[in-house]
Structure formats: structure tokens, C-alpha cells
Structure 1
Amino acid sequence: MTMRQYATGMAWGEGPRWHDGALWLSDTLGARLWTDASGEWRSAGLDSPSNGLWFLPDGRLVGAMTHERRVGEWADGQWRSYVDLGGIAAGPLGDMIGDAQGNLYVDDVAFNAAAGEAPVPGRIILVRSDHSAAVAAEDVEFPNGLALIDGGRTLVVAQTAARCLTAFDVLADGTLGGRRTYADLAALVGPGAHPDGLWPAEHGVWVATTSAQAIVRAGEGEIHETVSTAPLLPIACCLRDDGALIATVADTHGAPLLDAVKSRTVTTSVVVITKNEQT
């Protein structure tokens, strides 16, 4: 595998998405939305940061607004209201993904780790295409990356605090059932594997493991492939149209991760990881 730098300038890059030949991502610490859709790597300043991003089936970009407990729709250079989750979300919002019907799954992290709040179990919220919302799963320990696999029949969530991936069956109405452990990353990768971003992969999901300094391709109960990002810490990932893996990676400049985040000394870049025969 070959890793090369794609872009710089972010404090903490989350939710990377490749769409129509361009990369989009949220800078949750810098409160900016970054993209090279114009042909240049540029950012738009935000009053409040977005986190997870997703493109709806009709091409509209929506974002989970970290501190506002709502999903926004990107239009005219700003996040306009798409759906208000103030009556259902218990805390900050995290990652977000969607299905072919326009339904969204959103992390309700339930506590603000960066502010030093005590951890409490989080949830996954289902936002249907008609803008109605309901809790789809509870008791998720720091819900983070989300991925739909098996043709949309399975949802996988990264439980960062539990250092594992958990899978759910996606039922016909979009609700979740059949909860089970998908991969125990503490056992399969090591105690430093605190999963963050996910992306669907062949026979499983790509997982950014942060402090384990690797992106792994995990199947149910096994690891198929490991890509080292050392000394950088992978935050989130997605695939480009040609199959290249795109990842946001953090440099803590020698400090412990949480200290670097709290002091805002952490910096993030984007890398492209390709097989040696790819260009």
C-alpha cells in the first residue's frame, strides 16, 4: 500500500464523503466545511460545526450538526434546517449515513467528551425520508462510525468506548433488530483500537482505529487487512470511485490524543491510500 497526502488545513476532520469527483468533510474542531468541488481545496466557516455528512438520493448534502441537535441541509453556503432532533437527541450528534430510500441513521453521542462530561450510553436515531424521527438503538457506548453493508440489510456501528463494532439487522421499516457483536477490536487489533469512522468494504467494513494507528478491514469476528498510518492516528475514511481509500489522519505532535484535542493543538490532514499498482 502507498499513502500520499491529499489535503491539509483541518483541526479534526470527520465524515469524509466522495461525491461527483470531489471530497467533502467536516472540521468539527475548526467549525468549517471543506471540499474541493470547485477544483480547489477550500472551506466555508460555520457558526456551529457539522459532523457526519451524507448525500441524499437526490444529491442534496445533509449534515449532523454536532451541538445543535438537528440535521442541516447545505444550501447557499450555509446549513439550513432539514430536521430538528431537539426533542429526541440527548446530546451531541456524531456520524450519519443514509440508505437508498432517503432514510438517515444518526449518532446521538449523549455526552460531550471534549467538555469533560461524564460518559453515558448513546443511541442511534433513525430519521425517515418524511422527516419523522425515532430512536433505533439504545445503550451504545460512544456511538461513532456507521456503515450499511450486505446491500443495506446490516448496519454496523463503532462503539468507541467499548472498542468494538456492533451489528444490527435493518428491518423492512428501517428500524433495527438482531443486535450482535460484529468485531471485538480490543481482542483482534489490540487495546489501542478505539474505532472511529467506518466505511463499507469487501466482506465487511473499513475501520479507522485512531490510537492503534491503523485502518483495518474487518469482517464478522475477523480482520482481513491492516493498513498502518503510523505515526498518524486515523479518524475517518471513505472510498473514492476508483476504490482508493481516503482517510483523515490526526497528528497530536507528541501529546496524548485527548490532551491534544482539548488544547486544540491537534492537526488533521487527508491521505489517499492505494495499492501499489494503482495510480
Structure 2
Amino acid sequence: MAEPRVVLTGIVMGESVRWHDGKLWFCDWAAGEVIRLDSGEPTVVTRMTGLPFCIDWLPGGELLILDGPGARLLRDGAEHADLSPIDGAHPWNDIAADSRGNAFVNNIGYDFPAGPPAPGLVAVVTPDGKARPVADGLLFPNGMAVTPDDATLIVAESHAARLTAFDIAPDGTLSNRRVWADLPGSAPDGICLDATGAVWYADVPNQHCRRVREGGEVLATIPLPDGAFDCALTDDQQTLYAVTADYTDPQAMFTGHTGRLFEISLAAN
């Protein structure tokens, strides 16, 4: 695979990288922007207030935005679900939708970074906009991914150094919790699945993206110059995109414009 190539600079804090409809999308949390790359140029699709916020799409193409501080899920800009009855006090973090129209959203369970760590949860928002918790006891739930057959939800537990999996029922109920991969020494953040069923995960303190098989076997590691927050694959599986930022100065992460978007060719030389 090729060396990472810088595609975009001047991002404040990039997150929620997605490949959708042939284009790369991501969120710049501190700038409050949802951004799409059009022929390599950034286009601001919409603006948000507060962070975190993350994106995905329903099967019909409607854009979902998880408004973390507002404890709500938006669908094409309108409120789809109120999450505050489940937890209105702590940040809602990441989102992953399945092809049935269920949207899985997670809450980290404490006031990061100031508060003492506490377990978080996953909730499901069904197509009718009703939300309910479906898993708890997760140690900083972060990136999530649904397998293409809608059978499994994989959740990165950043404070537990592992990927955790659940079986998905048609109504979004989760069961059969299990460790998908132990990742000693890691802090998995954003994740994505590849066509073989392996997971790529971004790791902030270890400054890399890593590909692992179920069970934890490491298949590839891509070093990056700063903390890696999230990653996404193109449909043809030939390119991985990753967002990074200088995480050593927390204030600079919100004001410093140290964030970058990298492109990594995975094609065999």
C-alpha cells in the first residue's frame, strides 16, 4: 500500500468519516460543519451547533445527523427522535444505520473529558422515530458498524481496548454480546468494515489506522503523523481515508486547525 497522502488541511477536528454515493463525507466538530468532497473540493452541506455530531443515511437516502449535545437524531434537518428521555445529561457520540431503517446511536455515559469515566449505552431509533436503549455497560462506546447482512453490530469500546459485537434482531434489539476482538494497548475510535469482514479502526494515542480480523489478528497497520480519529473505505476497497489532528494540546483540537484528511491507496503495488 502507498504512503498516506494529504488531501485536505485546515480542519479543526475531523470525525465521522463516511463514503456515501461515490463521495467522501466527514464532520468538522469544532467548526460545526458537515462536509462533502466534490472533485476534491470541500463543500459545507450543513452546519451544527455543539459537539459531538455524527452522520449516516437511511435506506431511502435521508441524511441522519446525531446531535450529541441536543440529545436528538435529525433526519434531513428535522427531528427524527428525542433521545433525552434515555439520557439527556451526557454526550451522544456515534451512529450506524442498517438497511431496515434502524439507527443505532451511542452515549458515552459521562461528561467527557472532565467527568470520571462511567459506562455508556447503545440505543436504537426505529424507522418510526421511537428510541429505546438496547445495550449498556459499554466502556466509552465510540465508532460503530453494521455488517452488510444486518446481522451484527460492532462497537468500539475505547476505554476497554476492544471491539464488541451484538446480534441484531429485525426490530433493532441487540443480543449475544461478545468480544469481537481484544486490542491490547489500543484505544479504538472510529471504525469501518471491509468486504472481507475485517475491521479498520482509527487509534488516537497510537497514531495509526489498523486492520484486524475477528479474534484480533492484525492484518495491516498504517502509521499517521497525528492522532487518528476515524476512517472510511471507498466502495471498491482500494482507498482508505482517515482524519487526524494534534491531540497533545486539547485546546488546539478545538481552535488550532491542525486537522488533516489523508488518503491511503490500498492497491497492491
Residue equivalent to 2:158:
160
Matches within 5 A, 1:1-279: 1-2=1-2, 3-37=4-38, 40-43=41-44, 44-49=46-51, 51-74=53-76, 79-90=77-88, 91-114=90-113, 116-149=114-147, 151-186=149-184, 191=185, 193-201=186-194, 202-243=196-237, 244-252=239-247, 255=248, 258=250, 260-261=252-253, 264-265=255-256, 267-277=258-268
The question of whether the paired residues in 1 share the 8 Å contact of 2:15 and 2:28 is answered with: yes
- Cα deviation, residue 158, structure 1: 0.5
- Percent identity, aligned pairs only, is 32
- Checking the alignment, whether the CA contact within 8 Å between 1:31 and 1:50 is kept in structure 2 is no
Q: Deviations over 1:91-117 (max 9, x none)?
A: 211110100111000011122313x12
Q: Give yes or no for contact 1:216–1:223 (8 Å, CA) kept in 2.
A: no
Alignment-mate amino acid for residue 70 of structure 1: R
Contact 2:11–2:257, Cα closer than 8 Å, also in 1: no
Note the C-alpha offset of 1:199: 0.6
What's the CA shift for 1:260?
4.9
The answer to whether the 8 Å contact 1:103/1:126 transfers is yes
Whether the aligned pair in 2 keeps the contact of 1:71 and 1:85 (CA below 8 Å) is yes
How far apart in 1 are the matches of 2:27 and 2:257? 15
How many angstroms does 1:23 deviate by? 1.7
Choose between structure 1 and 2: higher helix proportion: 1
The answer to whether the 8 Å contact 1:64/1:96 transfers is yes
CA distance in 1, matches of 2:135, 2:125: 12
Give the aligned CA root-mean-square deviation in angstroms.
Answer: 2.1
Question: 1:27, 1:50 within 8 Å by CA — same for their partners in 2?
Answer: no
Moved more, 223-232 or 240-249: 223-232
| Structure 2 unaligned residues grouped into runs of 5+ | none
Distance 1:150 1:57, change over 3 A: closer
Q: If the length of structure 1 is used for normalisation, what is the TM-score?
A: 0.87
Give how far 1:164 is off.
1.0
Encode CA deviations 1:160-211: one digit per residue, 9 max, x unaligned. 111111111112332111111111111xxxx2x1100011122321111221
SS at structure 1 position matched to 2:217: strand
Go from structure 1 to structure 2 and tell me whether the alpha carbon gap of 1:39 and 1:220 turns closer, same or farther (over 3 Å shift): closer
Task: State the AA in 1 paired with 2:201.
Answer: V
Q: What is the CA–CA distance in structure 2 between the aligned matches of 1:156 and 1:260, rounded to whole Å?
A: 31
Whose relative contact order is higher, 1 or 2, with alpha carbons under 8 Å and at least 6 apart?
A: 2
Equivalent pairs, count: 264
TM norm structure 2: 0.90
CA pair 45-52 structure 1, distance change in 2 beyond 3 A:
closer
